[in-house]
Structure 1
Amino acid sequence: MRPIVVLLTVLSTLIFPGRAEAATTFGPREAGVNAWPYHDGGQLPKKYTGVVDNQGVRMFVHPGITGGRKMNHPVAQAQYGLALVNNYRRTHDSWYLDLAQRQARRLADTHVDARGAWYFPYRFDFPLSSGIGLTMRAPWYSAMAQGQATSLFIRLAKATGSAEWRRAADRAFRSLQLGYAAGVPWATHRDAAGRLWLEEYPGPNPATSARVLNGHIFAIYGVWDYWNVTRSPAAAAIFSEATRTVYTYLLRGFRNPSWASSYSLRGDVPSEKYHNIHVNQLLHLHALSGQPVFAAMAEILHGDFTMARVTATIRFSGGTHVGVAFRSTTDGRVRARRGLTLGRASSAPVDQRRRIGGQPGFWYHVTKGALAGFWVQEFPGRRSTTGPIATFPYLTRRTAVLAKGSHLVYRASGPSVARVSATSEAGIVRLGWVDGRRAVLVSAGSLRGLWLVVTPRTTFRIAEGDDHDEVICGVSCERVAPLG
């Protein structure tokens, strides 16, 4: 398949997903432990961390929202418990298991029974930002809390063999099987197109709900965790429908080309804070469903926007360069410019690499030297880092297909050309930028350990078992003219 044909196939499949939908299944798959949700947390010290009560249970306090009082927060308790279970799994130290069970017991002790399910209430009003225009009125409920509590309960059941935690997981999961009903707690609904939402912020009715992407996916994690232990057909069905919702709306609802993805469909406000979370979640969905289309979506969002705080050095070529001071990194209004002419190559430290609103390409924030305090536009061969930057790991198998011919690769010593004698495949484990170019880290074959620059001659599977390929740069990269 020639590159232009590949590109058109990808665009028709991703922008109009219904065309491939009938042939695509989204059921749960087994995944290695390293791909499990919440696995990538760090080592916790053997002491209480964060805001806790005298039992070590995670609490929430805010001068305006809680009036300065410590109050139960279901998501905070579930997330702390999950981090503790992970630490127990790695260390087999019962201190972590005991504290994890205290978080779970608080959730169990404070639940509300409704329609045979356990719901975990928030007992404080919570005004939403991000353009949603909704205030959650106590008591309110959230599918994110329901899903994360399900994850905690079922992982504790697995770790301890306790029937208590298995019953708690059954009751929490039950809440994700129930749709909207007036006058009772609820956390899931179907939109006008029939798509299933696991709603982080349910409004007074489904029409007023926020449809928040990250909360929906965190709830999906709970469904997968429950399925992973129980092999419940109901969990498999919910997982399939909820991931199909992501497939349906991610690119034509949440994506903002060349900018941060939106936090929710209600309000539709881009969120720099949550964009990288979305990329990471899509890579998890790739692993949990086995569907490469979610890796493709992660790659597209990764190309749209990153906001990385880094400790790095960029290399300047000899010649003229222009630094720009912006009034705002969001709207890209220029406050000042400063020129710099170099007789030979030089370098400078930077602390950020990101998109600037309304400006092409990516930009580095210089911290020392003649352009200190200014932003400079990334451009291969003129201004770029020498090592990989803004990288993300793949969590399950991802394969690049290399066309016959020459390919640009980066070794520790710098760029070189690799020649491929016939079309071949190479396993890849990371995605990022090297020297201002999009690249993937090869994990197997003759190019193992090298960063392979992605061009239209490098393709990837977009859906399991079909002929659709993806060209990352063809879809989401842009041609950028150098500024100075």
Structure 2
Amino acid sequence: MISGIGPENQKSNSILLTRDLLIDLFKNRLISDRKRSNYCVVKIFTDGSVQIRTLSLKTSAHGEFALAAGEWLVKNQNELGGWPIKVKRKFAKGALSINEGWHSAMSQGQAISLLVRLYSRTSDPKYLKIAKKALKLFEIESYRNGIKAMLFDKYTWFEEYPTAPSIFVLNGFIYSLFGLYDLSKICDDTFCQRSGKLFDIGIQSLEAALPLFDSGSGSFYDLRHLSLGIAPNLARWDYHSTHINQLLHLYTIVRGDIIQTTAERWIGYMKGHRASHN
């Protein structure tokens, strides 16, 4: 395995490089056997002019990974408060596409959650400042390089993929809500209050839209069958279980009846239960 340091780091006097070597190996070699005890590090070497100050091998480094990710978020946030995704994506067999540089509600929400936790752990205000700035995209429409869409011209939806027309991906939307909730609870200034209001708006949309994601035997990944008028995109079982876990976590926060009953019904689908027929 070869790991580079990136061109932006080549002029630095020193950098902290944190890698999960086994994840690198599994992804690079497409290895199916992922039992960590079956692998060990045999050799580590450098190529080029470099000096290693400290080398540590650990069984886990969750804290280091969190800090490394947080520093990347601080350094790479753009003027809109986002982290643009520099790949082109196509959907629905090419019927929809988005060019590189798009923003995702899912990545915004997950970034906010991480930044809030780093602020809580370190008390470093830079993390909270960046998390607050990340709110901006939640109020910018997707056609303006934001992440906000409208379902039935009535319900606000935060888009994982800002396509036109919108496809309303469920799991990415819920991840964005977790980020909004986390920020709303870390302070009481206008930014955190705004985050709480966006969370409440999102919950109202979710409760209204959840029945549309029920297939009677599982869940839909998105609502392309409504916005595009094509065949539905069924969630495979790992995404279906993700939907369930997300709803169960949300229920601990909002205690909404439709969230609870939907989660219970979708759990039943995983046990072979099906919706009634006529």
Aligned to 2:186: 229
Aligned to 1:166: 128
Equivalences for residues 321-470 of structure 1 within 5 A: 355=272
CA distance in structure 1 between the aligned counterparts of 2:206 and 2:2, rounded to whole angstroms: 33
Q: Which amino acid aligns with 1:111?
A: Q
- For residue 221 of structure 1, give the secondary structure of its aligned residue in structure 2: helix
Aligned to 1:309: none
Return the TM-score normalized by structure 1.
0.42
Structure 1 residue 478: deviation in Å? Answer: 5.9
Alignment coverage as a number of residue pairs: 221
Aligned to 2:160: 200
Equivalences for residues 182-261 of structure 1 within 5 A: 182=143, 184-203=144-163, 205=164, 208-231=165-188, 232-251=192-211, 253-257=212-216, 259-261=217-219
Structure 1 residue 157: deviation in Å? Answer: 0.5
Q: Which amino acid aligns with 1:180?
A: E
Return the TM-score normalized by structure 2.
0.70
Shift of the 137–299 alpha-carbon distance from structure 1 to 2, 3 Å rule, reads: same
Structure 1 residue 104: deviation in Å? Answer: 1.6
Picking from 101, 117, 132, the partner of 1:155 is 117
Aligned to 1:263: 221
CA distance in structure 1 between the aligned counterparts of 2:186 and 2:153, rounded to whole angstroms: 31
% identical aligned pairs: 24
Shift of the 105–128 alpha-carbon distance from structure 1 to 2, 3 Å rule, reads: farther
Structure 1 residue 192: deviation in Å? Answer: 3.1
Picking from 143, 148, 151, the partner of 2:105 is 143
Aligned to 1:180: 141
Structure 1 residue 98: deviation in Å? Answer: 3.1
CA distance in structure 2 between the aligned counterparts of 1:187 and 1:166, rounded to whole angstroms: 21
Structure 1 residue 123: deviation in Å? Answer: 0.8
Structure 1 residue 146: deviation in Å? Answer: 0.7
1:248-284 alpha-carbon deviations (Å, 9 max, x no partner): 1111x11011x12100001432112311111111111
CA distance in structure 2 between the aligned counterparts of 1:51 and 1:297, rounded to whole angstroms: 46
> Does residue 1:291 correspond to 2:256, yes or no?
yes
Aligned to 2:45: none
Q: Which amino acid aligns with 2:65?
A: L
Matched-pair contact (CA < 8 Å) for 2:142–2:148: no
Matched-pair contact (CA < 8 Å) for 1:111–1:119: yes
Structure 1 residue 107: deviation in Å? Answer: 2.3
CA distance in structure 1 between the aligned counterparts of 2:110 and 2:95, rounded to whole angstroms: 25
**What are the ranges of 5 or more consecutive residues in structure 2 without an aligned counterpart?**
6-16, 29-59, 226-231
Q: Which amino acid aligns with 1:110?
A: N
Shift of the 160–143 alpha-carbon distance from structure 1 to 2, 3 Å rule, reads: same
Q: Kindly report the root-mean-square deviation, in angstroms, between the aligned alpha carbons of the 2 structures.
A: 3.0
CA distance in structure 1 between the aligned counterparts of 2:2 and 2:91, rounded to whole angstroms: 22
1:144-195 alpha-carbon deviations (Å, 9 max, x no partner): 011111111111011100011111111112322x13175x420112233320
Shift of the 181–284 alpha-carbon distance from structure 1 to 2, 3 Å rule, reads: closer
CA distance in structure 1 between the aligned counterparts of 2:209 and 2:130, rounded to whole angstroms: 32
Matched-pair contact (CA < 8 Å) for 1:173–1:226: no
> Does residue 1:110 correspond to 2:76, yes or no?
yes
Picking from 88, 104, 122, the partner of 1:125 is 88
Larger radius of gyration: 1
CA distance in structure 1 between the aligned counterparts of 2:258 and 2:4, rounded to whole angstroms: 43
Matched-pair contact (CA < 8 Å) for 1:179–1:188: yes
Structure 1 residue 51: deviation in Å? Answer: 10
Q: Which amino acid aligns with 1:220?
A: L
Q: Which amino acid aligns with 2:178?
A: Y
Shift of the 279–167 alpha-carbon distance from structure 1 to 2, 3 Å rule, reads: same
1:404-458 alpha-carbon deviations (Å, 9 max, x no partner): xxxxxxxxxxxxxxxxxxxxxxxxxxxxxxxxxxxxxxxxxxxxxxxxxxxxxxx
Shift of the 133–287 alpha-carbon distance from structure 1 to 2, 3 Å rule, reads: farther
CA distance in structure 1 between the aligned counterparts of 2:218 and 2:3, rounded to whole angstroms: 34
1:40-79 alpha-carbon deviations (Å, 9 max, x no partner): xxxxxxxxxx997642368x99xxxxxx9xxxxxxxxxxx
Structure 1 residue 95: deviation in Å? Answer: 5.1
CA distance in structure 2 between the aligned counterparts of 1:124 and 1:95, rounded to whole angstroms: 29
Point out the structure with the larger strand share: 1
Shift of the 262–56 alpha-carbon distance from structure 1 to 2, 3 Å rule, reads: same
CA distance in structure 2 between the aligned counterparts of 1:104 and 1:154, rounded to whole angstroms: 10
Q: Which amino acid aligns with 1:97?
A: G
Matched-pair contact (CA < 8 Å) for 1:227–1:235: yes
CA distance in structure 1 between the aligned counterparts of 2:2 and 2:265, rounded to whole angstroms: 37
CA distance in structure 2 between the aligned counterparts of 1:103 and 1:51, rounded to whole angstroms: 20
CA distance in structure 1 between the aligned counterparts of 2:243 and 2:180, rounded to whole angstroms: 18
